[in-house]
Structure 1
Amino acid sequence: MSAFDHLHHRIRAILQEQGIIEPTLPQEKAIPTILEGENVLLIAPTGTGKTEAASLPIFHQILSGEGKSNNTPKHGREKKKASRTMDSDGMQSSAMESGGMDSNGIKGIRAVYITPLRALNRDMLRRFHDWGESLGISVAVRHGDTSQSDRRRQSLSPPDILITTPETLQVMLTGKRLRLNLSTVRTVVVDEVHEMASSKRGSQLSVLLERLVEIAGDFQRIGLSATVGSPETVARLLVGTNRGYRIVCADVERASNYQVVSPQPKGGDYSLASTLECDPRLAAQIRWIRDEVRDKKCLIFVNTRQAAEVLGSRFRQLGEPIGVHHGSLSREARVEAEEAFKAGELQGLICTSSMELGIDIGDVDHVIQYSSPREVSRMLQRVGRAGHKIGLVSSGSIIATCADDVAEACAIARRAADSKLEEIKIHEKPTDVLANQIVGLEIDFGDISLQRVHQIVSRAYPFRDLTVEELEGVVSQMEEHRLVRREGGILQRTRKAREYYIENLSMIPDEKRYNVYDIVGRRSVGTLDEAFVVGFAQPGATFVTKGEIWEITEIAEEEIKVVPIQRSGEIPSWTGEEIPVPFDVAQEVGRIRREISEMFESGKGAEDAEEWLQSCYPVEDEAARELVDLIMRQREKNHPVPNESLVVVEGGGEGAIINCCFGHKTNDTLGRVITSILSARFGSSVALQIDPYRIELTLPKALLAEEIEKLIEDLDPDYVQPILEMTLKNTSLLRWKMIHVARKFGALSRDVDYQRVSMAKLLAVFEGTPMYREALREIYHDRLDIERTRMVLVRIRDGSMAMTTSSLSPIGTSGRGGGKDVTSPENADAAVIKLLKNRIMKDRVLLFCVNCKKWKSMRQVERVPDRPECPLCGSRMVAALKPWEEDEIKVVRKRDKKTSDEKRRTKRVFRNANLVLSYGKTAAIALASRGLGPETAARVIGKLQKDEIEFYRDILKAEKEYARTKRFWG
């Protein structure tokens, strides 16, 4: 007997009409269990019929008038309470053959289908629509883009099945008529549940489902997920505490074929590089992608939107039928790209994680991953989009961009083949989510006791351990911001509550976005984030979006007006996109290095090492050779090879590199602790940059590698968290998180300009509050790994992990190539140099006489005389300061005894004035540039007399370096 035999006869008839005789494995295993009314988490690869496994039983239940019901529904403020009649099997009885009317005659929604993306909503509607029409079952979509007329129609005549997002459900729970419509819900399906599990949206959804229980009584919960590393965690997030569930794993045997490639420049790649104004290595990669796309339909996944834009612009230059798809493009642009790919007008689509989920774009023959995907789960999800039918091979190629990338891609491909996925870590007791949902419960109930809030919220898995004291602490914080009024043990709604609630429907951080409007084509082409606009945007600046190059003509309050042009541009700088490489993947990269190194040690050659690598990992010749060659060069120079259990500290001048294969989060944690200790020792900042295999330090003065080695060896693992907390207090990262959390608590308005908010004031007001603790907790969850860092330090102390020192080595200085190859070429073209020069000339500079200390004058750089001179005393000792350096003048003028820091700052101003004395206006030009102090300016000034282009090119290089590292300073 097949799973289909359990379904309503009308459903079976349609399946037969469609020629679908046999259920897929996920359908065979899941349909009977779902029909029994159990809560189910169905885990199966993409393209194996998961959606139908969940939806066909829902159609069956609606046709048969069945559905799970364990509790009497509660309508919050509504006095009428619907009761349900139950038959002997515990199923709801209904005289209706079809439709969503309960036994009290309430016509309402029978099933809610929740997806994380609006694009998936569109997809689901298309797939459900035909079934609904054939069966006489109404289906509708509701999300932020749904028109007011459609919303009203849905409220007055609710559909049987509603497809929506968590944020829209958040709104629906507070409407009087919508709550009545939701009181008939018997089933909730959460699609792509793994996608929300590790974010605050997952915690928010878990409470929303408990609030829905208060309206509808208990209902059946079905989660659909691709392969995940923590099925138990995801299932508990879905069903809450104290409810049973079944995990149905349908490991469909879908052949997967991975290959790691590293195209090297040859023949025509050099002329292609000249045409595209890019590095020959990038040209080789573009040629390789172009050849693949000509043979088959490909999705080309990249890790950042910057990479998507740069590759897209290059293919546009070549006239190739390859589109771009990512979250910052307008909805119209995304839909257009999806439809064009589906129709075959595009052979390739460059995309970010926006395409990982099951959006219907038709058949995909092959997936190309540009640069390592960083995580095994991403690799499986992305490659699963190819051969999106049972029996077809899912094939994927990873283009490695450097030797580290080769090793990392090898490790990920092997782990993907063995289904070794990363564990999902949910957010435990996020207090901003809690505050948000307390407001929701106030609106749901009007008045509600603190005890009742605790009862409801603690049914949600992330809040299972929430204490009443913790809840009271959050309520007290909310009282300060007028989100709740407390009368004894009763919480009452305030006037501000509903406005706050509507403004904070989503737990995705608010960040101001500027619409990008093409004034030539009269259309919206995407959005730019606040950080990019503040840091880079000005009339005349160029950038890339939607694969095209644009020049900014005007910046309005909410909109950037642009025109299309044909020259190089600054890449839009989206924040927070770095996908962290997990500890286990980084450790395997270390093992690969060690194995190759040991082969050389035993007398074997490069060919033997390449052969071994290719026997263990799906790596092609050029890629294997690149990795083996790096390790061979390391050994030839007698440098130790860093591996999974050997940390190598390299010193050289005012920089140091700690080679450690611990992944992003552990390296970031360890790096921050080390820089904190060194900053305290030097009395000045230490710049930090990390990748999964290195911690790079820029020091104010030279330090021996042995000194850093001793610092790490002496570091007490118990001090990691306290040092981190002290360090984070001075970072823009904590300020950024604090502002986002404070917005979610209603403590700051949404339109506050975070750049103008003082960190000191924020700390003075919020330190020690639930908001402050939440900001720290979120940083620890998303960016750092305290436990692993402690474990590493313990292993170094007990000797199970070795440490040694070295001078700078090929591995240490190779850095992570990923991303470098895909940015604009180092030698910027003449147009960019011209733009830079024009910008600097329009910038302002503060001239200050250090001789008489009386005269100062603010003026544009182009108006600075060739030889600046003080009009009061005639001295040419005139410093050219940046407009925001006015405080330096106060320090120089100070007559009292100066501190050591004030002496250093005074010396710096005099060094500045000496440069202007020696080089005149040339020095003012260099000193007016972003991030160039007297020392850096001195190095580039000499070039102007010889070569103006080189002079500005050096300034551009220094500005880029400053932009890259400025977040680590101060």
Structure 2
Amino acid sequence: MTTRPDAIDRLSPAVRYQIANGLGWSGLRPVQALSTEAVLDGANCVVLAPTAGGKTEAAFLPLLSKMDVEDWRNVSVLYVAPIRALLNNQEARLTKLTGLIGRRAGKWHGDVKEPARKRLIDDPPDVLAITPESLEAMLLSTRTPARRFLAHVRAVVIDEVHAFAGDDRGAHLVSLLERIARIAETDIQRIGLSATVGDPDVIVEWLSGSSMRPQRVVDPGSARKSPELHLDFVGTLDNAALLIDRLYPGTRRLVFVDSRRRVEELGHRLSQRGVDVYLSHSSLALSERTAAEKAFEEGTNCVIVATSALELGIDVGDLDHVIQIDAPSSVSSFLQRMGRTGRRAGSTANCTFLATDGDSLLRAAAIIDLFRNGYVEPAAPSTWTPHVLAHQAIALSMQEQGSASHGWWSWLEGCAAYRDVSAEERESIVRHMVDNDILVDADARLALGARGERLYGARNFLELYAVFSTPRVLRVMHGQSEVGVVDASFLQDKEHKVPNFVLAGRPWRIVGVDWKGGTCSVEPAEAGSYPRWFGLPVSLERSLCQAMRRVLTSEETDLSWSKRAITALEAQRESHAFLDDGPLPLEEDPDGRCRWWTFGGGAGNRVLAGLLELELGERVSPGNTFITFSNGAAESAVGIRRAIDLLAARALTWDGAARLVDSNQRSRVSKFQPCLPPEIEYGLIARETMNVDDANATLAEWKGSTQQETKA
């Protein structure tokens, strides 16, 4: 019996030589050895390792070995990332890795100018770093020879795969993989990279789609040093700014805030205290963000205040501390953020939570509780995405300049995003688009119709590249320099006239607004209000809400809690003493309302509130942790219990949830809703805004508690 060679011995001689001499390594890390085995065995895989754990090399070293041995030419590997900043950040790394064996990497996204793109087309790189939106644009462009350019793709590496899996961009991405596999006429190898994903087996199956390759999860499972966690209650953003100024002097601190407005507010307050502070969020100009990240990277005693964009693997150098204002909405997000620290030898990953109110304090304590118990949310990619399917039908009609009406589906067959979209639903979507002139079916070919042109074509062509829309924004210009963008609605607010506002941490005075050109001219000012950006309320997962209940009903304290946090949480426990009466109590308040404390999560509670309102005929409002009964609905606790019992007697379904959608006040969850027949559109709105499984879990808990009461 022959023994299998070590992983490093399976790499090509050129790659082995460069590992020792080009990279100066004595060997491979565990994750790199395991991924080398998986990739060289031809498997589709998800590679799990902490941030800065060597995931990029884990994917590319075996791919470069295959490129070397099998003599891959032209664009043979795509590196896909969720944001442009990550592509920019990884450019030097990919250039170095490909250069080890005399190959090249190139970058293609919205900020890459036409001359650079032309050079890439004329002389294709071996590895192309790109976003899904730019891939779509390339496939639809008449100026880019996409078929020739992508004909030799053999593998795709998806960085931060968890950031795609849970939303429409993921469905879009796996659709693109199927289309590129058709162009390349090969079973493309698919490799996802992530530091935090709760369901890697599901993710690798979802990525694989129609691919017949074996599937593997690469998880070295190495034990890491326990992180340093601190939870403090500070009460206000002013106090948070004071503490950040005084905490960890002489170090480099990254502060996460979960809204752009609060980034601006905190950044401005810190700068007023004389702190060397930089800001980063999606509404700042690229030049502002790049300058901030570069200055921060080179600084030694400074703070960068950022939204979630900086949790996605972007390297801003060796950080000393991560500080979280309030709390993120998931354990996964917390792990990504904390993973920015503890990268240097001898250092420890750390995160300090500064809660400005009781709700965020409880949520932070619950995040820590889930982390201590080893829980990470599953990404749970959807297998029923009819709106993205409609997007693909339109895109294929444009890509093919008229796709075969009975053949367009063959481009996507096997894609996991449509596994639960029935053939009947698929046909009804196309029929609806043809009936509404979004598509035209002529000579057995589908082409863009007149209404489709107005919605998604010609001047609105850019609208088709991405699967989501953003509200209208105005570019803020100081002379010839762009500072960033603000929502148009913010400047149009007649109730609160906005003469001055803060952006990039600096106050500005409005000189003039060109509504037609979409610009706002400004000059420096002494002070200003903080801008508002469009956003949706945060809907918390059931798992997090359940952990919040555990914190409230426990008598234990966590080692991470400060004295102030302990005092504030003890006060919350006292005010929630009624939770000891049972797992899902009804609480009546002095204002005549009644609250049902489900701790069932926002999406599950939305289903229950809608059905209970139908039953009771009065106002029932969902929250993340409780459901509120108002007016006539709150008259009788007995009546509420009876209504809940009726729901608990049967299993709730998605069809039932879809009936809760108001046809006169439909939510806008996708720009492709006009492409869907009403019954499918209502089903989509239900799935995007509700969670039947969580609602059923709450009802099962209610049923169990009432049965115990009966026995008692």
Work out whether the TM-score is over 0.5. yes
Q: Residues 666 and 789 of structure 1 are in contact (CA less than 8 Å); yes or no, is this contact kept in structure 2?
A: yes
Q: For each residue in 1:172-209, what CA deviation from the matched residue of structure 2 results, as whole angstroms up to 9, or x when unmatched?
A: 23456231121111111111111111111111111111
- Which of 328, 338, 343 is 1:388 aligned to? 343
Which residue of 2 is the match for residue 789 of structure 1? 695
Which residue of 1 is the match for residue 328 of structure 2? 373
Find out whether 1:514 has 2:474 as its counterpart: yes
Q: Residues 321 and 348 of structure 1 are in contact (CA less than 8 Å); yes or no, is this contact kept in structure 2?
A: yes
Q: For each residue in 1:58-97, what CA deviation from the matched residue of structure 2 results, as whole angstroms up to 9, or x when unmatched?
A: 3222332x2xxxxxxxxxxxxxxxxxxxxxxxxxxx5xxx
AA aligned to 1:546 is A
- Which of 32, 39, 46 is 1:34 aligned to? 39
Which residue of 2 is the match for residue 694 of structure 1? 626
Q: Summarize the Cα distance change of 1:353–1:777 in structure 2 as closer, same or farther, 3 Å threshold.
A: farther
AA aligned to 1:458 is E
Q: Summarize the Cα distance change of 1:562–1:536 in structure 2 as closer, same or farther, 3 Å threshold.
A: farther
Q: For each residue in 1:382-418, what CA deviation from the matched residue of structure 2 results, as whole angstroms up to 9, or x when unmatched?
A: 1111113566421112223344433432332232244
- Which of 114, 124, 130 is 1:158 aligned to? 124
Q: Residues 255 and 323 of structure 2 are in contact (CA less than 8 Å); yes or no, is this contact kept in structure 1?
A: yes
Q: Summarize the Cα distance change of 1:705–1:284 in structure 2 as closer, same or farther, 3 Å threshold.
A: farther
AA aligned to 2:244 is I
Q: What does 1:812-827 align with in structure 2 at a 5 Å threshold? A: none
Q: For each residue in 1:217-239, what CA deviation from the matched residue of structure 2 results, as whole angstroms up to 9, or x when unmatched?
A: 22222111122111122112211
Q: Summarize the Cα distance change of 1:134–1:350 in structure 2 as closer, same or farther, 3 Å threshold.
A: same
Q: For each residue in 1:340-369, what CA deviation from the matched residue of structure 2 results, as whole angstroms up to 9, or x when unmatched?
A: 111116622111110111112111122111
Which residue of 2 is the match for residue 114 of structure 1? 80
For the aligned residue pairs, the C-alpha RMSD in angstroms reads 3.2
Find out whether 1:262 has 2:232 as its counterpart: yes
Give the fraction of aligned pairs with identical amino acids, expressed as a percent: 26
Q: For each residue in 1:783-825, what CA deviation from the matched residue of structure 2 results, as whole angstroms up to 9, or x when unmatched?
A: 322232233234434544899xxxxxxxxxxxxxxxxxxxxxx
Q: Residues 634 and 640 of structure 2 are in contact (CA less than 8 Å); yes or no, is this contact kept in structure 1?
A: no
- Which of 520, 523, 528 is 1:560 aligned to? 520
CA distance in 1, matches of 2:595, 2:525: 41
CA distance in 2, matches of 1:416, 1:714: 36
CA distance in 2, matches of 1:698, 1:527: 40
CA distance in 2, matches of 1:220, 1:332: 36
Which residue of 2 is the match for residue 613 of structure 1? 557
Which residue of 2 is the match for residue 582 of structure 1? 541
CA distance in 2, matches of 1:793, 1:542: 50
**TM-score normalised by length of structure 2:** 0.88
Q: Residues 741 and 775 of structure 1 are in contact (CA less than 8 Å); yes or no, is this contact kept in structure 2?
A: no
CA distance in 1, matches of 2:14, 2:336: 34
Find out whether 1:342 has 2:311 as its counterpart: no
Determine helix, strand or coil for the equivalent of 1:173: helix
- Which of 173, 178, 201 is 2:146 aligned to? 178
Q: Summarize the Cα distance change of 1:623–1:234 in structure 2 as closer, same or farther, 3 Å threshold.
A: same
Which residue of 2 is the match for residue 741 of structure 1? 672
Which residue of 2 is the match for residue 591 of structure 1? 550
Q: What does 1:70-81 align with in structure 2 at a 5 Å threshold? A: none
Which residue of 1 is the match for residue 55 of structure 2? 50
Give the CA deviation at 1:570: 4.5
Q: For each residue in 1:274-323, what CA deviation from the matched residue of structure 2 results, as whole angstroms up to 9, or x when unmatched?
A: xxxxxx74333222222224242221112222221221121111121122
Q: Which residues of structure 2 form unaligned runs of 5+?
A: none
AA aligned to 2:440 is R
Determine helix, strand or coil for the equivalent of 2:414: coil
- Which of 180, 189, 197 is 1:228 aligned to? 197
Give the CA deviation at 1:529: 2.6
Find out whether 1:125 has 2:58 as its counterpart: no
CA distance in 2, matches of 1:58, 1:383: 30
Q: Residues 54 and 222 of structure 1 are in contact (CA less than 8 Å); yes or no, is this contact kept in structure 2?
A: yes
Q: What does 1:330-729 align with in structure 2 at a 5 Å threshold? A: 330-344=285-299, 347-389=302-344, 392-446=347-401, 448-487=403-442, 490-491=445-446, 496=453, 499=458, 502-518=462-478, 522-535=480-493, 540-557=498-515, 558-567=518-527, 569-576=529-536, 578-596=537-555, 612-614=556-558, 618-632=560-574, 635=577, 640-641=578-579, 645-653=583-591, 655-675=593-613, 680-681=617-618, 686=619, 688=621, 690=623, 692-696=624-628, 699=631, 703=635, 708-709=640-641, 711-715=643-647, 725=658, 728-729=661-662
Q: Summarize the Cα distance change of 1:675–1:189 in structure 2 as closer, same or farther, 3 Å threshold.
A: same
Q: Residues 601 and 694 of structure 2 are in contact (CA less than 8 Å); yes or no, is this contact kept in structure 1?
A: no
Q: Summarize the Cα distance change of 1:536–1:312 in structure 2 as closer, same or farther, 3 Å threshold.
A: farther
Q: For each residue in 1:853-891, what CA deviation from the matched residue of structure 2 results, as whole angstroms up to 9, or x when unmatched?
A: xxxxxxxxxxxxxxxxxxxxxxxxxxxxxxxxxxxxxxx
- Which of 294, 300, 303 is 2:255 aligned to? 300
AA aligned to 2:190 is R
CA distance in 2, matches of 1:556, 1:703: 54
AA aligned to 1:650 is E
Q: Summarize the Cα distance change of 1:688–1:418 in structure 2 as closer, same or farther, 3 Å threshold.
A: closer
Which residue of 2 is the match for residue 206 of structure 1? 174
Q: Residues 507 and 528 of structure 2 are in contact (CA less than 8 Å); yes or no, is this contact kept in structure 1?
A: yes
Q: Which residues of structure 1 form unaligned runs of 5+?
A: 67-93, 95-99, 102-107, 265-279, 597-611, 746-769, 804-970
CA distance in 1, matches of 2:663, 2:387: 22
Give the CA deviation at 1:581: 2.3
Which residue of 2 is the match for residue 245 of structure 1? 215
Determine helix, strand or coil for the equivalent of 1:561: strand
Q: Residues 633 and 640 of structure 2 are in contact (CA less than 8 Å); yes or no, is this contact kept in structure 1?
A: no
Which residue of 2 is the match for residue 873 of structure 1? none
AA aligned to 1:628 is E
Which residue of 2 is the match for residue 604 of structure 1? none
Give the CA deviation at 1:157: 1.5
CA distance in 2, matches of 1:791, 1:131: 49
**TM-score normalised by length of structure 1:** 0.66
Higher RCO by CA contacts (8 Å cutoff, separation 6 or greater)? 2
Determine helix, strand or coil for the equivalent of 2:218: strand
Larger Rg: 1
